[in-house]
């Protein structure tokens, strides 16, 4: 049976200043080109290994995916489990606060489906 040698899971560390908008602070945690897609894929799959996540996310470099996962982990939205195996196995999943983003991501997906037009290949080129 596999046992985890390390389990990293924290609550969200980001604080909000009294003069700062809480919506802006929350968007800062999942903003950018890749974090939303990473969260979406982890919501869909529950647990993913690095290369599987990379395939699901799309044309992201290994370096960028590593950076984004570290930031999400540091912010307490993603948990990383390292298994004591050879070769090492690392799995990523959303933490409790990360899973709490499910209704937000679902609402964004529904909004996009209603309001964004899908381009055909000729328009996209």
What are the residue boundaries of the structural domains of the chain, listed by start? 4-10+21-115
User: pLDDT value at position 96?
Assistant: 94
Q: Does 4 have pLDDT greater than 60?
A: no
CATH number listed for the domain at residues 4-10+21-115: 1.10.10.10
User: pLDDT value at position 121?
Assistant: 72
**Residue 77 or 117, more confident:** 77
User: pLDDT value at position 6?
Assistant: 43
**Distance of alpha carbon 99 from alpha carbon 50, whole angstroms:** 19
pLDDT tens-digit profile of 31-40? 989 999 999 9
Would you give the DSSP letter of residue 47? Answer: E
pLDDT tens-digit profile of 102-112? 999 999 999 99
User: pLDDT value at position 7?
Assistant: 45
Q: Decide: helix, strand or coil at residue 78.
A: strand
User: pLDDT value at position 11?
Assistant: 54
Would you give the DSSP letter of residue 120? Answer: P
Please check whether residue 80 is in contact with residue 19, taking contact to mean a CB–CB distance below 8 angstroms. Answer: no
Note if the pTM is more than 0.85. Answer: no
Query: Order of strands, edge to edge, in the sheet holding 47-49?
Result: 4-8, 78-83, 89-94, 47-49
pLDDT tens-digit profile of 35-55? 999 999 999 998 999 999 999
**Distance of alpha carbon 39 from alpha carbon 93, whole angstroms:** 9
């Amino acid at each position: 049976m596999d046992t985890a040698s390390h389990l990293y899971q924290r609550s969200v560390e980001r604080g909000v200043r009294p003069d700062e908008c809480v919506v802006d602070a929350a968007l800062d945690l999942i903003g950018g080109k890749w974090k939303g897609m990473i969260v979406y894929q982890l919501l869909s799959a529950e647990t993913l290994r690095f290369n599987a996540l990379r395939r699901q996310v799309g044309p992201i470099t290994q370096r960028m995916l590593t950076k984004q996962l570290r930031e999400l982990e540091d912010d307490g939205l993603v948990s990383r489990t390292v298994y004591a195996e050879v070769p090492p196995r690392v799995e990523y999943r959303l933490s409790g606060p990360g899973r709490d983003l499910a209704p937000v991501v679902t609402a964004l997906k529904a909004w996009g489906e209603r309001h964004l037009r899908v381009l055909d290949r000729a328009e996209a080129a």
